[in-house]
Each structure stands twice: as structure tokens, then as C-alpha cells.
Structure 1
């Protein structure tokens, strides 16, 4: 039962070149000349690789039925992340790298989802936002609030992001884990 490009939705999974891909975003384009097409940004579930691909309008793809299994990140042990299946309470070591770039924002006991298709774990879906404490940054000085200028800040998980000058050690900030960007300071 293949699906047509007119059925595309953000977050939809399908098979392409033997791998499962997720649609991040798509746009139907109808040029004045020639046939219509669909421009997409896709993420390979297994590796996190993002590509842009254009499909002809009406082109068909094979849907992938991906199950999201709730897991909890317990802690890091060596080069492994120890995850617990929230249904069976089984603890599973997985290579920390398999969590992708967003893994560096995980706090102990954070909930994530294992993405499984046909009984095989393809990858992990991590929270898009994290609230983390700043543990190391240069002090902000009065008058240093020139718009557009930032400074690096090390967070409690070891990740480093660029933050505005008014952020200090001990502040809790909200970070977009997909873009590694500072969003706002969280009120205490």
C-alpha cells in the first residue's frame, strides 16, 4: 500500500533506498511551466543524516510503520548510554553516539523514544527542548549588552552553547536541542 506525495505530512516515515526516513518538512510547488513537484527535507532515522529531495507530484513511496517505545535515559557509562524500557524496566546499554547530537543535552532520567520498525531499533527521538543550568561562563559586564553579541556557556550536561551576555553561572536556560541554540532564560 504505497502512499502518494499528496499524502505527505511532517513526521511521516517511509522507506527509501532500503532505509527508513522521516519527513521534517515539505512544500508542494506548482511552477508556471512543467509539472508540479514536492520539495522535502528528510532525516534518515538510523543516522540522523538530513537531506533535501525533490519528488515528482504523484510519485509513490512505501510507508514505514514506526513504533515509538518509551525509554528513560538513566546515565552514561563509558561510551554507552544506559536506557531503561519503561514498559519492561529492562536496562539496555547503547552506544552514546547512536543518540545523535541531541544526546549531549540529556539529563539523567530524561524520557526519550526508541524508534522501532519491524522489531528493529532504528534510532532514538530525543526532546526538542531542554532546560539546563549554566555551570561555566564568563561574567557579564555592565555595558556588554551590544545586540547580537554572545558568549559561550557550558551547561550541566557538558554541552556548550552561545548565550547572551546577561546569562550567568547558576542561571537555568532553555535550549533548542535540534539547532543547539539558546532560546530563553527560565524563571526560577
Structure 2
């Protein structure tokens, strides 16, 4: 669907030079002299890189509608993760590269939104948080109560994360998957 520059909004998906980009930021500029334009920051949905791009008022942009499906992780298979559609139970492979940094913190059956374009998966939106049990933690140093001391622990999925020294093996913790940080201990 073609649209003018005044219709571009954050979150839209555009096709630019044959590639799909999500609009991260858009700023409409109407200078006193010359024609209006829009400054954008775009994120490539395949390569996960960002570009800044300016479009003139006369340019027509192509908006893309993506199919979004709720899916859960079934298992890992080589370079792919096999997801299952929660509505029709269809299983589809999705490249691990969409989740590589948070993969060590995801359990099977974790629900996510998978975006498709022309039947192919092009993006995965994971949950913001994971609740996981600590399977290995060294004892904290006695007397260090400053609150800023950290230690490395291993969680049930095999991922490692820095946590405050009071966290011990068997604790259940909440991890922010957006920046891979410890949030809090959770009651079982």
C-alpha cells in the first residue's frame, strides 16, 4: 500500500529498496523555504541493523502489512528453533538469530509473537521478562552488605547472569530480557 510521508508513524513496517524496515522514529519537517520532508530512523527486520533516512514530500513509500501469530517454543533444531502456532498447532522453523542473545534464558513453551511477511518468519517479539530458578550459585562473601556487590549464577536454562550476592542456589529470579539484567527474587 503506497502512502505519503505525512502518514508514516512509529512502529509501521516499510519496504525500502526491496528490504523491510520498522519505523523507530519519524519527524515531519516543513521548512520555511523548500518542500517538506520526513527524517526517519529505520530498523532492518532481517539484518537487525538501523539506518537514518530522509524522504521528500513527493516520494511515495510502501507500507507492508505483517501477519502476526502467537507461537510457543517447542525445541531447538540446529540453526533453527521450532515454534508451534497456538491456534492450529502447526510447527514452523524460525532462525535462532532473532533470539540469539536471550536464547539461554528461554524455556520450552515460552509464548511469543512471530511476524510473517509473505509466509516467511521475519521477526520474533519475546516476552519482556523470564522467571527462572537458579541452579548454580557460589556463596556470597560474608560481611559484604553494600548492595552493589554482584556474582555470576547459572539458571535452569543454562544462561548465566550477574545477580546481587544474596541470591543463592534454588532461588527463583526475574530477569529482564530486554537488557539481560536481574530484576528481583520471586516467591515460589
What is the TM-score when the length of structure 1 is the normalising length? 0.77
1:45, 1:20 → 2: CA distance?
A: 6
2:17 equivalent in structure 1? 17
Contact 2:94 2:121 in 1 (8 A): no
2:184 equivalent in structure 1? 184
2:160 equivalent in structure 1? 160
1:71 and 2:71 matched: yes
1:5, 1:150 → 2: CA distance?
A: 48
Q: Deviations over 1:36-70 (max 9, x none)?
A: 86453x432223x2425253685753211111112
1:138 equivalent in structure 2? 138
Q: How many residues align?
A: 185
Alpha-carbon RMSD across the aligned residues, in angstroms, is 3.1
1:63, 1:165 → 2: CA distance?
A: 49
1:168, 1:159 → 2: CA distance?
A: 15
Q: Secondary structure at the match of 2:102?
A: helix
Give every structure 1 segment of 4 or more consecutive aligned residues whose post-TM-superposition deviation is greater than 6 Å: 32-36
Contact 1:6 1:57 in 2 (8 A): no
**Pair 132,50 (structure 1): closer, same or farther in 2 beyond 3 Å:** farther
**Pair 84,141 (structure 1): closer, same or farther in 2 beyond 3 Å:** same
Q: Secondary structure at the match of 1:101?
A: coil
Unaligned segments of structure 2, at least 5 residues: none
Contact 1:5 1:55 in 2 (8 A): no
**Pair 29,143 (structure 1): closer, same or farther in 2 beyond 3 Å:** farther
2:117 equivalent in structure 1? 117
Q: Secondary structure at the match of 2:148?
A: coil
1:55 equivalent in structure 2? 54
**Pair 6,143 (structure 1): closer, same or farther in 2 beyond 3 Å:** farther
Instruction: Give how far 1:139 is off.
Output: 1.7
Instruction: Give how far 1:99 is off.
Output: 3.5
Worse-superposed segment, 3-12 or 134-143:
3-12
Q: Secondary structure at the match of 2:97?
A: helix
Q: Secondary structure at the match of 1:141?
A: coil
